[in-house]
Amino acid sequence: MYDLIFFLVLLLLGYVFGQRAEKRHFRSIIEREKQLRDILVFSERRIPDEDKLDGTLVCGSVVVSVDFFKRFVANLRNLVGGRVSAYESLLERARREAILRMKEEARRSGAISVWNTRLETSSIYKGAQQSIGAVEVLAYGTAVKPR
């Protein structure tokens, strides 16, 4: 009986604090995206007017972990199949945060845009049941500024 109560308390705490942290992180992301909207990001490989620009490699990396509640919901979803929406918001936050960190580095270098942007995603922790515990997203590209 105590095990069930302990499990339910962990589930409730995971839900409450996980939702709170996620909402706070999304607000931070939205605010920083507004501040960095002048630095454009492109996936194009070829940089126009390449001879008039200086380029440098910039990157942004982030590791985001999943809370206990989302892990529990994802494990339930894995039993029946379908979209695992609990992980979708985790990956969205990680991607947007990595791009923001890359843009911040580009701004520090004086760049006006980032070209040939790529994203790499990996799970860096797997628990006993091989469930995802945390994901890392790396965003990198070529930051360009006028010569």
Q: Give the tens place of pLDDT for each residue, 83-124.
A: 777 788 889 999 999 999 999 999 999 999 999 999 999 987
Q: With 0-12 CB in 10 A as exposed, 13-18 as middle and 19+ as buried, what is 37?
A: exposed
pTM summary value: 0.85
Candidates 17, 24, 32, 20; CA nearest to 97 is 32
The full set of domain ranges for the chain reads 2-146
Q: In this structure, what token pair is assigned to residue 126? A: 């797997």
pLDDT for res 99? 97
SS3 label, residue 9? helix
What whole-number distance in Å separates Cα of residue 95 and Cα of residue 115?
A: 17
Architecture label for domain 2-146: 2-Layer Sandwich (3.30)
